[in-house]
């Protein structure tokens, strides 16, 4: 049966009579302890040797203490009869609790706990815990099971409002509450039987609250914009500074890339693009830097473009070089390397080039990697597979050797031409004689 107040006894008894015959009392013959609390002396009938005593004159009461004004011997027939309603009974008219049965306010001194940890009000820290008796923060909801959810907020109406809005309110200098940040969960964008809903994040800049980011109903993330394409991430930067920056401060992992861009399907067509760099709405992109490569000392290379072509720049500034000498051994280097024709294993396409490890025997600085090396690759689903770690050739670095060899060849040609001119002159002279 429902109840308010203290937990009732498992059974109810009427305590209407108490015998003190033979009780010494404390103080002796005068003070006696009642089994039940009474309000005044008139709530008891006191008998000594079957003679009813006068309330307030022959005795007084205070709560459960009965005090006689005269001595009562242990041999006296001494007893009391409780007057009024039977003590120890509880009468609840029905199992309902209505406003008529409650005061306007309910005051609880100290902590309030409902069913161990269903609800706990911490009066010391002014916090509330649901599912926990040790709330962190003003409100903590904790669920130790997989179902149901720890917190469910249900909105039964439509109209663009959020089912749950978490707002940060700031009391400004004019003593006015102002919303400065908000997370709105379940903003319905269209209703009906199959509604769409977003999660929106709002922040304040220069006193104006505006949307900073949203997660759309298809899982797309929009930052700095409320509209986007079919991309999963769209970032719009409308103020000075870069739009995206990725920084890794821990350098212990040398095998994992800071960023992976993966086309996870198994179809590749002639128009498939992994990364698109676009100076949109710029008709002239002369000397525009699309990608810049830097280290602690500054730029080490860049990819530039103009309106008709792309150029690839590697740093070659004189300020970065010491011990500069003219190179004159390119002829011998180029003479010893072996250009080959071949077919690529994956596609069967014919091509012309070099075998990396053969080229490394003569010009090692244009080749990277180790012959027959292998490595591992993490696929988009997290699977680790074993793959070859192929050697590669920087064909651009062959240019100085080719230039040196060409200059040596030109010098040889010019020398031969000079000698040929002299010989021709001598032959002409001899023939004239």
Rounded distance between C-alpha atoms, residue 115 and residue 118, angstroms: 6
Predicted confidence (pLDDT) per residue in 236-279, tens digit:
887 777 778 888 887 776 677 788 887 777 667 667 788 888 88
Which residues are bridge partners to 342 per DSSP?
351
Average pLDDT, the chain: 83
Predicted confidence (pLDDT) per residue in 75-100, tens digit:
999 999 988 654 554 555 555 555 55
* Overall pTM > 0.95: no
Predicted confidence (pLDDT) per residue in 161-181, tens digit:
677 788 887 776 676 777 788
Ordered structural domains, the chain, with CATH: 1-98 (no CATH), 110-143 (no CATH), 157-245 (no CATH), 277-324 (no CATH), 326-433 (1.10.10.10)
- pLDDT band, very low/low/confident/very high, at 191 (cuts 50, 70, 90): low
Predicted confidence (pLDDT) per residue in 317-345, tens digit:
999 999 999 998 899 999 999 999 999 99
- pLDDT band, very low/low/confident/very high, at 105 (cuts 50, 70, 90): low
Look at 153-167, 248-262, 308-322, 345-359 and tell me which has the smallest mean pLDDT. Answer: 153-167
């Amino acid at each position: 049966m429902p109840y308010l107040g203290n937990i009732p006894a498992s059974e109810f008894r009427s305590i209407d009579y108490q015998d003190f015959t033979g009780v010494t009392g404390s103080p002796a013959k005068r003070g006696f302890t009642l089994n039940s609390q009474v309000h005044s002396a008139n709530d008891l009938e006191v008998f000594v040797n079957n003679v009813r005593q006068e309330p307030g004159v022959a005795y007084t009461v205070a709560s459960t203490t009965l005090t006689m004004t005269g001595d009562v011997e242990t041999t006296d027939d001494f007893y009391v009869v409780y007057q009024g309603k039977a003590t120890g009974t509880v009468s609840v008219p029905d199992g309902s609790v209505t406003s008529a049965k409650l005061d306007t306010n309910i005051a609880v001194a100290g902590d309030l706990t409902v069913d161990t940890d269903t609800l706990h009000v911490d009066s010391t820290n002014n916090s509330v815990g649901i599912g926990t008796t040790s709330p962190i923060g003003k409100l903590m909801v904790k669920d130790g099971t997989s179902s149901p959810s720890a917190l469910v907020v249900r909105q039964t109406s439509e109209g663009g409002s959020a089912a749950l809005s978490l707002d940060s309110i700031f009391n400004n200098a004019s003593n006015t509450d102002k919303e400065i940040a908000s997370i709105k969960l379940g903003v319905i964008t269209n209703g009906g039987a199959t509604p769409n809903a977003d999660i929106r994040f709002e922040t304040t800049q220069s006193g104006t609250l505006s949307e900073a980011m949203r997660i759309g109903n298809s899982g797309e993330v929009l930052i700095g914009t409320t509209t986007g394409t079919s991309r999963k991430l769209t970032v719009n930067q409308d103020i000075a500074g870069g739009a995206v920056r990725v920084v890794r401060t821990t350098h212990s992992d040398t095998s994992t890339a800071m960023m992976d861009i993966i086309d996870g399907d198994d179809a590749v067509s002639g128009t498939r693009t992994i990364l698109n760099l676009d100076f949109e709405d710029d008709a002239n992109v002369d000397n525009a830097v699309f990608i810049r490569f830097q280290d602690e000392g500054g730029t080490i290379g860049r990819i530039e473009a103009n309106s008709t072509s792309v150029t690839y720049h590697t740093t070659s500034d004189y300020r970065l070089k010491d011990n500069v000498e003219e190179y004159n051994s390119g002829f011998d280097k180029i003479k010893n390397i072996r250009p080959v024709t071949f077919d690529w294993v994956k596609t069967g396409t014919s091509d012309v080039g070099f075998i990396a490890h053969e080229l490394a025997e003569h010009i090692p600085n244009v080749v990277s990697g180790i012959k027959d090396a292998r490595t591992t690759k993490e696929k988009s689903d997290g699977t680790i597979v074993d793959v070859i770690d192929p050697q590669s050739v920087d064909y651009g670095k062959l240019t100085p050797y080719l230039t040196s060899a060409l200059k040596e060849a030109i010098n040889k040609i010019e020398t031969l031409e000079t000698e040929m001119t002299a010989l021709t002159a001598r032959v002409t002279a001899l023939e004239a004689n």
